[in-house]
Structure 1
Amino acid sequence: MLAMTLVVLPAMFITGFRFVAVPVAIVVFFCWFGFFMVQPNQGAAMQLFGRYVGTVRDEGLRWANPFYSKKPVSLRIRNFESNKLKVNDLEGSPIEIGAVVVWQVVDTAEAVFAVDDYEDFVHVQAEAALRQSATSYPYDLHDEHTVSLRSHTQEIADHLRKEIQERLTSAGVKVLEARISHLAYAPEIAQAMLQRQQASAIIAARTKIVEGAVSMVHMALEQLSEKGMIKLDEERKAAMVSNLLVVLCGECGTQPIVNTGSIY
């Protein structure tokens, strides 16, 4: 009887252990699939049967319900350069423009679930905002109070960044910087616009020269009158003004001329 007991008890123990060990092994094996790795500056959006349940941002080895599906999203700062777009500026002149955009995902859930492909969404919306900004300003300035694409780079960059940010907020993306990387007139009008720029520069330079010459002539007449060095009538003043303006505004150097007929 004792011998039978010694044989039966171990057999029962082994059988019971099997009944317990097998389910435990299955559970452990199943839970193993709940482990996942989160890299630095990375997030993981988790879903349970199609329902969003949260985001993990802490780096390292993590565990979650094995039934959770995990979508990794990079939180690193990224940048891209847009294509060279051909648009019309505020004055209707065709120009080529491109920009560099620096951006970062700040809301993992919105980046994954609010848009279909957030990277493609960023590229398309950035180019749309660039087109909008290009049509809001002239290529070149015509007066000191006009903001232009070529001369006011910081103002244009701030406006472009705000335009892009408004379009990407719904996708959980933050725009850190946006700057124009390429700006030029379209090839078909580039030569004509270059001549226009040269003419504008010449006119501006001539204006400064004339303003300075008039100021110098006025100062010369005042000093001659105050010091009483010489008395000039209106006709002689006009001749002096004419000669001084020719000398001061002329492009070529003056040539000395000796007048032997009159002191005037």
Structure 2
Amino acid sequence: MSTTTSHSPESEGAPEAGGARSARLIHNEATTEIPVHLLFRDDPEPVSVPLAPAVVGRRRGTGEQPRVPRRPAAPVPARPAPEVDPELVERPARVLPGGVGVLAGACGVAGCALTSWWAGAVPPPALDALGLPWSAGAGFGPAQWAAYAGAGALGLFGFGGLARGRTGRAWVLGLFGRYRGTVRRTGLLWVNPLVLRRRVDVRLRHWRSEPLSAVDANGVALRVVVLVVWRVKDTARATLGIEDHESYLRDCVEAALSRAPVEGPAVKGGAAASRSAVGDVLTRLVAEDTAPVGVEVFSVQPVRIEYAPEVAAVMHRRRIAALDAQNRATALTSVVDSVEDTVTRLTMRGLVELDDYERKALVKDLTVAFCAGRGDASP
């Protein structure tokens, strides 16, 4: 009797050496390659076999794509908050009431006039007209020139430092490149004329952007117009900590739109709630980016969302096709309900007695009639 021994394909071409078993392998999509002789060892020591998924190719004969194990998403590290220069913190500047400047300027003008009378530079007709006593005049000596200089400097400082503070406007003062404070007071004020003044608008402002690029959750290109409500909270940081806080605000809005997905204009149901949620996310992102530069953002809301020009035609056709399919499904459901209601009423009231064949014929005729009626009424 001859015994036929079957050999697996894996064992062919692998001759046994020295009486050892052939290194046949078992392949499985959920395991790594496991030598067969490890599964039938005589020694009792346990063998640790890694069972992690390690499929790198297609399954033979099935054409099935390999299943890649999902790795947990790595946590996004929190961005460190930028350090703020302690010198760039808004503080009130030292100013005086405007009446002090007017008084100082008037004293300077009066001192110049008195010095001119002392030097004899005022003509007699002018003295007679003003009712002043005539003076022989001491001439222009060092004392007269010193009096002129002092009175002129007093007049220039008095009138040159006058300023008018307006509601919603502030001045950022700097002297020799150093921040000296912020003036938020209103009315007539006297500010040191040697300091550099920068006017800042601190009112509540809004900015309506031009169409900005964005994407939805599926990666479709969009154009979004947002309305930003903001104001300058810290004038020192907004003016001295950055070159242009308005341009920086625009850049922050564009960066937030690139990070937050926006729902497209064809979102199904809950469009208002979806836009409100997107606005909350944009407000939080922009507020976090602009807080270090002294800009306070209250709201960033999308007011218009449309598809980008390169995908607008395709999305419009897709939207029309979806609406057409929805209308067809609604019409079919209505017809089926009408046919069912008609047949049920006829049979329950005993008007007709139908067997299965007659029932099917009646349902067919009613369906055709209702569909034809809807087709005639639709135009």
- Is TM (by shorter chain) over 0.5? yes
Go from structure 1 to structure 2 and tell me whether the alpha carbon gap of 1:174 and 1:220 turns closer, same or farther (over 3 Å shift): farther
Go from structure 1 to structure 2 and tell me whether the alpha carbon gap of 1:220 and 1:139 turns closer, same or farther (over 3 Å shift): same
> 1:144-172 CA distances to partner (integer Å, 9 max, x unpaired)?
5xx76x99444444443443333222333
- Contact 2:215/2:262 (8 A) holds in 1: no
Question: 2 CA distance for matches of 1:220 and 1:172?
Answer: 72
Go from structure 1 to structure 2 and tell me whether the alpha carbon gap of 1:249 and 1:102 turns closer, same or farther (over 3 Å shift): farther
Q: Number of residues paired by the alignment?
A: 236
Q: Greater helix percent: which structure?
A: 1
Residue type of the alignment partner of 2:161: G
Within the candidate set 212, 228, 237, 1:101 is matched to 228
Go from structure 1 to structure 2 and tell me whether the alpha carbon gap of 1:247 and 1:132 turns closer, same or farther (over 3 Å shift): farther
Question: 2 CA distance for matches of 1:244 and 1:61?
Answer: 89
Query: Which residue is 2:251 aligned to?
Result: 124
1:166 equivalent to 2:288? Answer yes
Within the candidate set 205, 213, 228, 2:350 is matched to 228
Can you give the 5+ residue segments of structure 2 that lack an aligned partner in the other structure?
A: 1-137
Shift of 1:121: 0.9
Normalising to structure 2: TM-score of the pair? 0.52
Shift of 1:120: 1.2
Question: 2 CA distance for matches of 1:244 and 1:152?
Answer: 43
Query: Which residue is 1:140 aligned to?
Result: 266
Query: Which residue is 1:74 aligned to?
Result: 201
Within the candidate set 285, 292, 297, 1:175 is matched to 297
Shift of 1:90: 2.2
Secondary structure at the aligned position of 1:252 is classed as: helix
1:191 equivalent to 2:313? Answer yes
Secondary structure at the aligned position of 1:228 is classed as: coil
Secondary structure at the aligned position of 2:376 is classed as: coil
Larger Rg: 2
1:253 equivalent to 2:376? Answer yes
Go from structure 1 to structure 2 and tell me whether the alpha carbon gap of 1:240 and 1:156 turns closer, same or farther (over 3 Å shift): farther
Q: Greater strand percent: which structure?
A: 1
Go from structure 1 to structure 2 and tell me whether the alpha carbon gap of 1:31 and 1:200 turns closer, same or farther (over 3 Å shift): same
Query: Which residue is 1:4 aligned to?
Result: none
Query: Which residue is 1:112 aligned to?
Result: 239
> 1:171-216 CA distances to partner (integer Å, 9 max, x unpaired)?
3333355444553333333322222111100111122222323333
Query: Which residue is 2:327 aligned to?
Result: 205
Question: 2 CA distance for matches of 1:80 and 1:31?
Answer: 40
- Contact 2:222/2:264 (8 A) holds in 1: no
Go from structure 1 to structure 2 and tell me whether the alpha carbon gap of 1:210 and 1:70 turns closer, same or farther (over 3 Å shift): same
> 1:15-54 CA distances to partner (integer Å, 9 max, x unpaired)?
9999889656634543544332222310112234444343
- Contact 1:85/1:131 (8 A) holds in 2: no
Shift of 1:123: 1.9
Go from structure 1 to structure 2 and tell me whether the alpha carbon gap of 1:125 and 1:242 turns closer, same or farther (over 3 Å shift): same
> 1:3-82 maps to which residues of 2 (within 5 A)?
23=150, 26-27=153-154, 29-82=156-209
- Contact 1:106/1:173 (8 A) holds in 2: yes
Question: 2 CA distance for matches of 1:194 and 1:69?
Answer: 57
Percent identity over the alignment?
Answer: 27
Secondary structure at the aligned position of 2:203 is classed as: coil
Question: 1 CA distance for matches of 2:346 and 2:255?
Answer: 65
- Contact 1:87/1:131 (8 A) holds in 2: yes
Residue type of the alignment partner of 1:40: T
Query: Which residue is 1:261 aligned to?
Result: none
Question: 2 CA distance for matches of 1:106 and 1:66?
Answer: 26
Query: Which residue is 1:258 aligned to?
Result: none
Structure with greater contact order relative to length (CA < 8 Å, sep ≥ 6): 1
